[in-house]
Structure formats: C-alpha cells, structure tokens
Amino acid sequence: MVGLVKSLKNYWRIARDDIKTGRGLEIWLAVPLAVIAIILSLMGVTSTKLTISLVGVLIIATSLGQLEIKDLLTKVSDMADLSRNNVVVSTQRPFDLSEMLGQTRDLYLGGLDLFRTFANNEREILDFLRLGGKLRVLIYSPTGSTLENAVERSKKPWSADRQRVLIENTIDDFQNLRTANPSLNVTIRVSTFPFHMGFGCFEPGTDRERMFLKYYAYRADSYDGPWFILDNSDEEALQQFNQEIEALWENSSEPNKKS
C-alpha cells in the first residue's frame, strides 16, 4: 500500500509539472480515462455510449499529440534549412589566396593594411594580373581618425606610426607593381571610413561569387578572425555585403603617388 501511495504521488508530481508547461496533455488525459474505464468494467458498469465517448476522447487526445509531433518535426525541418543556407563561420583562414588566384579572374580585396597579403603572395598576384585578372585593393587611409581607430581597436600595443608604415608600404608595393607593368588591371584605394571587416570577394556579381569576411574584433586576444563565408546560396546576406563593399569603394580614393 505504501508503495502504491508513493507511486501515485510521483505520478501526480510529474503530471502537475507537465500540465503547467503544456507538455504531454494527451497522455495525462488518456491515462485517467483508461483507469476510469477499467474500474467501471470491473464494477460491471457497461455502456456502449460510455465506451464510445471514452474512445472518442482518447482519439482526440492522441490527435493532439500527433499535431504536437508534427509541429516539432516542422521546427526541426526549418532548423535544418537554416543550417544548410546559413552563413558558414570559421576560426581559421578558410582559403589559400595563392590557390584562389588560379581559379578566378576578378578579385576585390579589403583590409586594414594587407601588408602580409602582398608580401606572402607577390608572385601569385603578378601571375594573376599578367593572365588578365582584375584586382581591386582597398585599405585604410594612413592618416586621420581611420588610423587612430585601427590602433585603438587592437589589444596589442601597436603604435600609430607602426601601422602607418605598414599601410604606406602596401601602397608603395601596389603602385610600384602598376608602374612597372602599366597594362596590368590593378587599382588600390584608401578609405577614410574604418570598415569593420576585412574581405576577399572572388568573382563579384557572378554565379560563382564567393565572399570571405574577416571580423575585426575590438580588443580581443585574437585579431585574426572569425571568418564568415558566403556564396550565392546566401543571397540576402551576400547582396547586403556586396552593397557595403561597393559603397566603400565608391567613397574611397586613390592614394597620392610618391614623388
């Protein structure tokens, strides 16, 4: 008897918690009805109408449960669709620029200074341009508040003078590249707006477009990511970022040439 009382108390506790949250209502409705039907049967109380009524209530309760399951499956399906179409995030650089240069004819790069980008890929960039590739490069202006914002954002103890030198070296590198090869389709511009993501956009505006966005964190331990990867399956996000980076280009200017 004591065990039965404990079981009933435990049953009531679970039922009360579920009913409060709206979970499993059909179960807690069906079980008491089944108990009632068994008791009435043992007492010899039989009625076709009563049986039909109890069966009807059980069917309704089961149907409610099926609707709950269907709704849950729909939500899971929606989440799967989001997972397939959502922007991919990577904590490591998700592409090798030297390899990508061999697979594209149109490239738009943007970053704080892109000094390492040029230094590590100079030969591949030149080959890309000699084969008829188009390259646009956008970096921070080496003067004014843009540079100050870049230094302020970094957790590392970098000075404005150091960052200025890196930017000016990149300007020199690309300008010298074009001066030595006037036929190459390469343009470098500087932005007075401290854009908050570095980027590499391959084949912009085409069905093959891929965009890699590098988030510029504020005073974080790592300043080299995360990266966001978009293609044409991310239509709305890709369109928005395309509008932004093209607006940055239109509102930037070519740096002065050194005499």
Condensed to tens digits (0 to 9), the pLDDT of residues 199-234 reads 999 999 999 999 999 998 888 887 777 899 999 988
**pTM, 2 dp:** 0.66
pLDDT, mean of residues 69-84:
46
Q: Higher-confidence residue: 146 or 92?
A: 146
255 found inside a domain: no
**Do residues 81 and 95 share a domain?**
no
Q: Are residues 139 and 181 in the same domain?
A: yes
pLDDT of 62 over the 70 cut: no
**Element (H or E) spanning 75, and its range?**
helix 48-85
Q: Which domain holds residue 151?
A: 88-250
Cα 139 to Cα 104, 107, 117, 196, 256: the distances in Å are: 21, 14, 12, 12, 14
Same domain, 143 and 241: yes
In a domain, 257, yes or no: no
pLDDT of residue 83: 43
Q: How far apart are the first and last CA of the chain?
A: 101
Rounded to an integer, the average pLDDT of 94-112 is 93
Structural domain contains residue 181? yes
- Residue 4 burial (CB < 10 Å; 0-12/13-18/19+)? exposed
Are 15 and 129 in a shared domain? no
114 and 73 in one domain?
no
Considering the domain boundaries, does residue 235 fall inside one?
A: yes
Residues 202, 117, single domain; the answer is yes
Top-confidence residue, 122 or 151: 122
Question: Between these two residues, 230 and 37, which has the higher pLDDT value?
Answer: 230
Same domain, 53 and 114: no
Which residue among 85, 102, 120 closes a domain? 85
Count: domains in the chain: 2
Q: Is 256 inside a domain boundary?
A: no
User: For the domain that residue 121 is a member of, what is the CATH number?
Assistant: 3.30.870.10
| Same domain flag for 169 and 138 | yes
Q: Which residues contact 108 (CB under 8 A, 6 or more apart)?
A: 135, 136, 138, 199, 200, 201, 204, 245, 249
How far is it, in rounded angstroms, from Cα 13 to Cα 15?
Answer: 5
Q: Which residues contact 152 (CB under 8 A, 6 or more apart)?
A: none
State the pLDDT confidence band at 123, using cuts at 50, 70 and 90. Answer: very high
